[in-house]
Amino acid sequence: MTQLAEPAGSAATSLPTIGHWIGGRRVAGTSGRRGPVFNPATGAQEKWVDFASTDELDVAVAAARAAFPAWRATSISKRTEILFRIRNLVEQHRHEIAALLTAEHGKVPSDALGELARGLENIEFACGIPQLLKGGFTEQASTGVDVYQIRQPLGVVAGITPFNFPAMVPMWMFANAIACGNAFILKPSEKDPSASILIAELLHEAGVPDGVFNVVQGDKVAVDRILEHPDIAAVSFVGSTPIARYIYETGTRNDKRVQALGGAKNHMLVLPDADVDMAADAAVSAGYGSAGERCMAIATVVAVGDVHDRLVDAIKTRLPKVQVGPGSDPASEMGPLVTRQHRDKVASYLDSAAEQGATVVADGREHPLFKDSDGFFLGTSLIDDVTPEMDCYRDEIFGPVLTVMHVDTYDEALRLINDNPYGNGTAIFTRDGGAARQFQFDVNVGMVGVNVPIPVPVAYYSFGGWKASLFGDLHMYGPDGIQFYTRSKVVTSRWPDPAKSSINLGFPQTR
């Protein structure tokens, strides 16, 4: 995690600092710790972000705890009204939020607006909370006895989010969490923290009471305090697999409900009968969109049989047409990577792949912006002849590097995918409905696309991978999200009937 010492007397000392949002207002950090925020397209540090101390995290928890009883008691119709207002305000301000994403994450405006559109879906889903929170009622379960189930909020819940979707992933979490009546604490990524504060302001304007939504900026110190704080009931996490595992193990050890979504290595299986142009378009869109910094990006194309050569040629011819550039240029389709350190790590896989026997078909370091710009750019890269033991296959690269593997049969391809430790997303490209159906049945992956390369579920389903891509029982957002942020209470009730009252020390035998 980067944290620069402030260079005395340099321009960095006068840069703006992004602070926290606690109890319904902006709060400047007091810990004396902070980290740099870069514009990835220029490579320049443009801001600082405060890193909270444990005491600052505790202040946010206290604010959330104080706000919870009244919010929980607020009628569902009033909460719904506020959610509709949040939806409208986020929609109205989406260009402003998108501009912050471009400035700090680097994604191009069309991609940033797409993130907002998918985030908004989650707020729209949460607007249906009157329907979603309905319980069940059984009249006359026994003579004169009714049984019913209700769902109640957990209390104070926290969300810890990654750099690659600074607006959408928080919306995956907080929309359902507050709709259910919880108070929420967001710990955004320290790499692109500004969107979280603008979103907090919009929630405030929409009428979310002070303390119901809080933002605490920071690093491991804030995260660790979240994991141990006795007043935090549940933690939602999205990020890399090692941290997801740590969050799950530590949070559950401290008696919290935890859902922790991790990294990915998504395979796109292409059968010999596939439409090669469609598959190549999909591989390029899903491999290089957002510079490959999506957990649902296609990382590996698995070509079965003789489709391999045609497919690699079709992908290769498309690469020079991908416009790499800053978000300030409307022609740009793919922006820079998030930090220089990450860009250089991604580029290093091109060397290790060549050393380990793969064929580098396209090397993104040859792009002029890699050499001539201070921004964190890397052009599109394509590696063929990849085998399972190579680093470029074993690791999640999380950059604009698409790898291609060549197998002889469907069974071989399936084994490869099922043997991979990750199981976030996958896709099959074929014209054969039976083969697609068999793949859907066979594959050990949580989200599957049939001729759809990035099968991110719509907000009324839930999002989640299998294996090392998710620790916990419930997926994120949608119906699973409502379940995660509530607990069930079952009431068995009978009203006084003195005529039938008697003492009975046994378990009831008559019904």
Q: Is 185 helix (H, G, I), strand (E, B) or coil?
A: strand
Contact between 426 and 266 under an 8 Å Cβ cutoff? The reply is: yes
Q: Is 396 in the site for ligand NAD (CB under 6 A)?
A: yes
Contact between 98 and 118 under an 8 Å Cβ cutoff? The reply is: no
Please identify which residue in 180, 185, 223, 353 interacts with ligand NAD, judged by CB under 6 A.
223
Rounded Cα gap, residues 361 and 466, in angstroms: 31
Q: Is 89 helix (H, G, I), strand (E, B) or coil?
A: helix
Residues that bind ligand NAD (rule: CB under 6 A) add up to a total of: 27
Please identify which residue in 181, 375, 465, 472 interacts with ligand NAD, judged by CB under 6 A.
465
Q: Is 462 in the site for ligand NAD (CB under 6 A)?
A: no
Q: Is 492 helix (H, G, I), strand (E, B) or coil?
A: strand
Q: Is 486 in the site for ligand NAD (CB under 6 A)?
A: no
Please identify which residue in 190, 363, 384, 480 interacts with ligand NAD, judged by CB under 6 A.
190
Q: Is 480 in the site for ligand NAD (CB under 6 A)?
A: no
Provide, rounded to whole angstroms, the least separation between the CB of residue 219 and ligand NAD. Answer: 6
Provide, rounded to whole angstroms, the least separation between the CB of residue 247 and ligand NAD. Answer: 7
Contact between 316 and 361 under an 8 Å Cβ cutoff? The reply is: yes
Local structure of residue 164 (DSSP, 8 states)? S
Rounded Cα gap, residues 294 and 332, in angstroms: 18
Which ranges constitute the DSSP H helices of 47-184? 54-73, 76-92, 94-104, 109-126, 129-132, 168-179
Please identify which residue in 123, 243, 322, 427 interacts with ligand NAD, judged by CB under 6 A.
243
Task: Quote helix, strand, coil % in the chain, to nearest 5.
Answer: 40, 25, 35
Contact between 63 and 208 under an 8 Å Cβ cutoff? The reply is: no
| Nearer to ligand NAD (CB atom), residue 40 or residue 153 | 40
Rounded Cα gap, residues 330 and 59, in angstroms: 43
| Nearer to ligand NAD (CB atom), residue 235 or residue 274 | 235
Please identify which residue in 239, 455, 472, 481 interacts with ligand NAD, judged by CB under 6 A.
239
| Nearer to ligand NAD (CB atom), residue 370 or residue 463 | 463
Rounded Cα gap, residues 185 and 233, in angstroms: 11
Please identify which residue in 240, 254, 440, 451 interacts with ligand NAD, judged by CB under 6 A.
240
Task: Considering only residues 246 through 265, tell me which ones interact with ligand NAD, judged by CB under 6 A.
Answer: 261-264
Span interacting with ligand NAD, options 104-112, 234-242, 433-441, 447-455, rule CB under 6 A: 234-242
| Nearer to ligand NAD (CB atom), residue 168 or residue 307 | 168
Q: Rounded to the nearest 10 degrees, how much is the dihedral formed by the CA atoms of 311, 313, 314, 317?
A: 160
127 labelled catalytic: no
For the chain, how far is it from start to end, CA to CA, in angstroms?
63
- Contact string 137-176 vs ligand NAD (x = CB under 6 A): -----------------------xxxxxx-----------
Provide, rounded to whole angstroms, the least separation between the CB of residue 471 and ligand NAD. Answer: 10
Provide, rounded to whole angstroms, the least separation between the CB of residue 33 and ligand NAD. Answer: 13
Contact between 180 and 151 under an 8 Å Cβ cutoff? The reply is: yes
Span interacting with ligand NAD, options 50-58, 92-100, 236-244, 304-312, rule CB under 6 A: 236-244
Rounded Cα gap, residues 228 and 250, in angstroms: 8
Span interacting with ligand NAD, options 185-193, 310-318, 401-409, 431-439, rule CB under 6 A: 185-193
Contact between 442 and 413 under an 8 Å Cβ cutoff? The reply is: no
Q: Is 22 helix (H, G, I), strand (E, B) or coil?
A: strand
Report which residue type is found at 223: V
The strand pair at 145-153 and 486-494 is best described as antiparallel
**Which residue of the chain is nearest ligand NAD when measured via CB?**
239
Provide, rounded to whole angstroms, the least separation between the CB of residue 242 and ligand NAD. Answer: 7
| Nearer to ligand NAD (CB atom), residue 3 or residue 10 | 3
Task: Considering only residues 265 through 304, tell me which ones interact with ligand NAD, judged by CB under 6 A.
Answer: 295
Q: Which residues in this chain contact ligand NAD in the complex, by CB under 6 A?
A: 1, 160-165, 187, 189-190, 219-220, 223, 238-240, 243, 261-264, 295, 396, 398, 424, 465, 469
* Catalytic positions: 295
